[in-house]
Amino acid sequence: MERLPSYLHAIDSLLSHGVNVAPSKILADRAGVSPVQFRKDISLLGGLSGTRGSGYDLAALRFELRNALGSEVRVRFVIVGAGNLGTALASSENFQRGGLDLVGIFDVSPQQVGRRVAGLEVLHDRELGLKISSLGVSIVVIATPPEAAQIVVDQAVEAGAREILNFSAAVLHVPQDVEVRSVDFAVELQMLALHARRV
């Protein structure tokens, strides 16, 4: 499931080069997986769009994928923390394919509040709860220092957020029905350091 977006990306890239049909080998390579895994994933989707002997009709496959990802339904998210990390995330823009809308950026620092980032004015954290409940925001991205993370999450969940993407080093505690995904730079690095030392 987590590979679907990269499949979609591979398809878009091929379509923009004028390719309309491609075998799993090509598609899988562009998405960084094995051809078998690609085919397995696609077949699990149900509405098959491959043709034995030639490959996949990219337009049909794209339709299937977008359907599976539910990309027509737009989802709103906000970023808390307008420092370097928050700014980088807000500016990345590649979240736009995929039906995602960034509708708010928050910070507590007077230096950040009022600044414009990615076309949005940075608001103070105290407005976070209201914004979440009034706009129906369900995803909150945490780009704050670890000390502030849990407090922000508690406010966000209280206001109705149900998915948290955590870029701080903090371990977050949330109710059962809230999903948390965490990205920890230090942990990722240490995994690689392990590999480096083993050699």
Partner DNA sequence: TAGATTGTTAATCGATTAACAATC
Token reading at 133? 């409940």
Beta carbon nearer to a copy of itself, 18 or 199: 199
Please report, in angstroms and rounded to a whole number, the separation of the first and last CA atoms in the chain. 33
Decide if residue 7 touches DNA (CB under 7 A): no
Binds 197, which of DNA, a copy of itself, none (CB < 5 to 8 A, cut-off by type)?
Answer: a copy of itself
Decide if residue 35 touches DNA (CB under 7 A): yes
Binds 20, which of a copy of itself, DNA, none (CB < 5 to 8 A, cut-off by type)?
Answer: none
The minimum distance between CB 1 and DNA, in angstroms, equals 7
C-alpha 139/C-alpha 33 separation (Å) is 28
SS (H, E, C) the chain: CCCHHHHHHHHHHHHHCCCCEECHHHHHHHHCCCHHHHHHHHHHHCCCCEECCCEEEHHHHHHHHHHHHCCCCCEEEEEECCCHHHHHHHHCCCCCCCCEEEEEEEECCCCCCCCEECCEEEEEHHHHHHHHHHHCCCEEEECCCHHHHHHHHHHHHHHCCCEEEECCCCCCCCCCCCEEEECCHHHHHHHHHHHHHHC
Decide if residue 56 touches DNA (CB under 7 A): yes
Beta carbon nearer to DNA, 34 or 92: 34
Decide if residue 43 touches DNA (CB under 7 A): yes
Beta carbon nearer to DNA, 7 or 106: 7
> What residue ranges bind a copy of itself (CB under 8 A)?
1-2, 4-6, 9-10, 30-32, 69-70, 73, 75, 77, 83-85, 87-89, 91-92, 94-95, 97-100, 138-139, 141, 146, 162-165, 169, 171-172, 179, 181, 183-197, 199
Decide if residue 37 touches DNA (CB under 7 A): yes
The minimum distance between CB 52 and a copy of itself, in angstroms, equals 26
Binds 19, which of a copy of itself, DNA, none (CB < 5 to 8 A, cut-off by type)?
Answer: none
Decide if residue 54 touches DNA (CB under 7 A): yes
Beta carbon nearer to a copy of itself, 17 or 195: 195
Which positions ≥6 away from 62 have C-beta within 8 Å?
A: 8, 11, 12, 15
